[in-house]
Amino acid sequence: MEPASQRSRAAELASHRGHYGIDGGRGAVTGLLWPVGGGLLLLGLSLLPLLSKPLLQRALEFLAGAALLQVPASFFYSTMRGKFAVWGELLAALDLHGNERILDMGCGRGAILAMLGKLVPEGRAVGLDLWRTEDQSGNSLESARTNLLSEGVADRCELHTGDMRALPFPDGSFDLVVSNLAIHNIPEKDGRRKAIDEAIRVLKPGGRILIADLFRTEEYVERLEEAGLRAVSCRPLGWRFWFGVLGVTPRLVTAEKPASGTPPPETTPTDLVP
């Protein structure tokens, strides 16, 4: 695809009509009260004309206040705009044919799933989730369904309630598996490893995996490499995906299942006790 048409495709994918909630749910919003409170206090102190203090001190308070306030600003930008822009570009660059079967593991209210639906008029975009409201505000099967209808893609999408550690799909049934900000929500390393193994299992030979996450991406890379996937890569996703989390570099992990001869992962979903 020409760069100009890829850019306009990405922008088209990123624009949305549905309501996709806040990632991290109430816990994230409550956690943001600290930097908001601290930031406002420091800005107030730096600007208050009544207190006599050196200019340098005022400048430092002002800068520290501004730095704290950019944490919520970055978070809300990423969850409401940035992730859509980033995924629009990632998906537009894939040059899909439109007849693929795609799985979104931990689809939540359907932000990425709806974009996938737009890309597969003759295929299928399948979303699976446990609909945890602690991971996304207003998360539910019903809210995801409503969003798919608002985006006009409900006819080519499917929603399943399930755990990504035990996917209810046959081996080799998807051309592409994606997951956004979801796998790190599994608390145990072994569980995250099972989710990666499941993604590999349901992927067709030659199929691709794209995982964007804030944390644990080094584990995903390790498991994909151990399982014999090709072209395993990990790269930073940049400021639009920063989510205000200090000291964290959100990353995209990509890999490709070899056309044949992939050794099966060591664990199987039958080990699972959901």
Ligand X SMILES: C[S@@+](CC[C@H](N)C(=O)[O-])C[C@H]1O[C@@H](n2cnc3c(N)ncnc32)[C@H](O)[C@@H]1O
> Both tokens of residue 194?
């099972």
Q: Which is nearer to ligand X, 181 or 224 (CB)?
A: 181
Question: Quick check: 251 binds ligand X (CB under 6 A)?
Answer: no
The residue within the footprint of ligand X, chosen from 13, 14, 23, 229 (CB under 6 A), is 23
* Least distance CB 20 / ligand X (angstroms): 6
Alpha-carbon distance of 62 to 252, in angstroms, equals 34
255 binds ligand X, rule: CB under 6 A: no
For ligand X, the closer CB: 6 or 140? 140
Pick the closest to residue 155 from 181, 118, 187, 182 (CA basis): 118
How many residues interact with ligand X (rule CB under 6 A)?
Answer: 25
Q: Is 135 in the site for ligand X (CB under 6 A)?
A: yes
**Should residue 166 be labelled a site residue for ligand X when binding is judged by CB under 6 A?**
no
Choose which of 61, 163, 197, 198 interacts with ligand X (CB under 6 A): 163
- 84 interacts with ligand X by CB under 6 A: no
Q: Cα–Cα distances in Å, from 261 out to 78, 123, 266?
A: 39, 26, 15
Nearer to ligand X (CB atom), residue 114 or residue 227: 114
- Which residue number, 110 or 123, has a Cβ lying nearer to ligand X? 110
The residues of the shown chain that bind ligand X, judged by CB under 6 A, are 20, 23, 83, 106-109, 111-112, 128-132, 135-136, 139, 163-165, 180-182, 185-186
